[in-house]
DNA sequence: ATGTTAATTGAAAATGATTATCATTACCAA
DNA sequence: TTGGTAATGATAATCATTTTCAATTAACAT
């Protein structure tokens, strides 16, 4: 199963970085790797407590911090707040987020180099990095809106 | 002077939306319209208190809320936090932010329509909106880094 | 100009999210 | 198995933002 594999990869990354494998981290990583939508820390906490009602919110925050420093998760930015997180796959990619249900997919290949060059010329800045996110409606929410 | 004009425009917009023109709003709008960099509410508060030490932080938050609902300011998103705000000019534009000193300029013409179409086809989503920000070094910070 | 009235203000308190502290628990290398 | 130490969760602390409320003041009609 692909999710199991991704979760194992994350746990291995944590281990390589000096962390121990604990049941709390197992649960948190499992939830994050299989999530189809961006989650707030509190959402993730609620999901994890279904598997272990004893698990603490603080551990969720601490694990998120570690996963972020390993580059395995990313923050999702929205006009109404930027506290959600989503897994990051390998390589350079961007997110497309359904504004209705929150479902999130990623894509690659934005071909923005020409834009960077033009803006650099116009402004005198050097362009080192960029952030791009798309918002829209997923197929299911489009169908629901139709009828 | 251009900044005076922009500040007046903002005050007029506030007035049209039913707000009264007060000295607190005058000061806050003046600081926001002439700022060359994104500001956090606390930064803005500190700047405004130089002109009126009596002005309250709550009024800063309230005025920011009104200006945002009028579409005159926008949130600036960064990997280390998304609490800064910057004025928004007319029309569709994006920000380029100096990661060293915070100086911020805007640009237009991202020509992303082809990308939207491709991603919509690939994912089945409809693409309704997008967020794009560039990060780099402004001319001054580039010069400083050079030597 | 003056009074009326409702919007606005700032101090203080409340809230909500995140972080720090610390005694206890449990992973894991030896 | 065991010892050292990282990790945990309860609790408290912190920080940004929002709410409350009595006093103030801008806008408007006299
Ligand atoms: Mn890209
Ligand atoms: Mn655009
Ligand atoms: Zn953001
Ligand atoms: Zn700079």
- Across the interface, of A98, A105, A134, the residue whose CB is closest to B130 is A134
Task: Considering all nucleic acid strands, name the nucleotide whose C1' atom is nearest to the C-alpha of residue B55.
Answer: C10
Tell me the pLDDT band of A4, cut-offs 50, 70 and 90.
Answer: low
B43 has pLDDT over 60: yes
B2 has pLDDT over 70: no
Average pLDDT, stretch A34-47?
Answer: 97
- pLDDT on residue B22: 97
B78 φ/ψ angles, rounded to the nearest 5 degrees: -135, 160
Report which bound ligand comes closest to the CA of B102.
4
Report which bound ligand comes closest to the CA of B132.
2
- pLDDT digits 0-9 by tens, A56-79: 999 999 999 999 999 999 999 998
CB spacing of A135 vs B127 below 8 angstroms: yes
Tell me the pLDDT band of A127, cut-offs 50, 70 and 90.
Answer: very high
Residues carrying CATH 3.30.1490.190, chain A:
90-146
Average pLDDT, stretch A3-8?
Answer: 83
Q: What is the pTM of this model?
A: 0.92
Neighbours of B141 (CB within 10 A): 18
- Decide yes or no: CATH 3.20.20.70 for domain A2-86: no
Q: Which residue has the higher pLDDT, B1 or A76?
A: A76
- pLDDT on residue A15: 96
CB B51 within 8 A of CB B59: no
CA distance A41 to chain B (A): 15
* Ion ligand 4, residues whose Cβ is below 5 A away: B 98, 100-101, 103, 138, 141
- The C1' atom of C26 and the CA atom of A43 lie apart, in whole Å, by 27
Q: Which residues of B touch A115 (CB under 8 A)?
A: 109-111
Q: Which residues of B touch A134 (CB under 8 A)?
A: 116, 119, 125, 127, 129-130
Chain D bases near protein Cβ (<7 Å)? 6-11, 16-20, 25-27
Neighbours of A76 (CB within 10 A): 20
- Across the interface, of A115, A130, A138, the residue whose CB is closest to B125 is A138
B1 has pLDDT over 70: no
Ligand 3: distance of its center to the CA of B21 in Å? 31
A3 has pLDDT over 80: no
A18 has pLDDT over 50: yes
**Measured at the alpha carbon of residue A132, what is the angle toward residues A10 and B111, in degrees to the nearest 5?**
145
- pLDDT on residue A1: 46
Residue-averaged pLDDT of chain A: 95
- Across the interface, of B98, B109, B126, the residue whose CB is closest to A125 is B98
Residues carrying CATH 1.10.10.10, chain B:
2-86
Helix (H), strand (E) at residue B85: strand B81-87
- pLDDT digits 0-9 by tens, B65-114: 999 999 999 999 998 889 999 999 888 999 999 999 999 999 999 999 99
A10 has pLDDT over 70: yes
CATH class name, domain B90-146: alpha beta
- pLDDT digits 0-9 by tens, B114-143: 999 999 999 999 999 999 999 999 999 999
Which of A134, A139, A141, A144 to substitute to test the interface with B, most B CBs within 10 Å? A134
Q: Could you tell me the CA-to-CA distances from B113 to B119, B127, B147 in Å, in that order?
A: 10, 10, 41
Average pLDDT, stretch A130-145?
Answer: 96
B98 φ/ψ angles, rounded to the nearest 5 degrees: -80, 120
CB spacing of A77 vs B111 below 8 angstroms: no
């Amino acid at each position: 199963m692909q999710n199991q594999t991704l979760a194992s990869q994350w746990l291995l990354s944590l281990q390589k970085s000096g962390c121990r494998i604990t049941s709390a981290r197992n649960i948190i990583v499992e939830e994050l790797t299989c999530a189809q939508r961006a989650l707030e820390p509190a959402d993730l906490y609620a999901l994890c407590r279904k598997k272990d009602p004893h698990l603490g919110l603080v551990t969720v925050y601490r694990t998120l911090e570690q996963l972020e420093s390993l580059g395995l998760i990313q923050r999702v930015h929205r006009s109404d707040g930027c506290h959600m997180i989503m897994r990051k796959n390998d390589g350079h990619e961007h997110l497309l987020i359904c504004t209705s249900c929150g479902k999130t997919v990623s894509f690659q290949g934005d071909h923005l180099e020409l834009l960077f060059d033009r803006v650099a010329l116009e402004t005198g800045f050097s362009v080192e990095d960029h952030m791009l996110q798309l918002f829209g409606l997923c197929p299911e929410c489009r169908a629901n809106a139709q009828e």
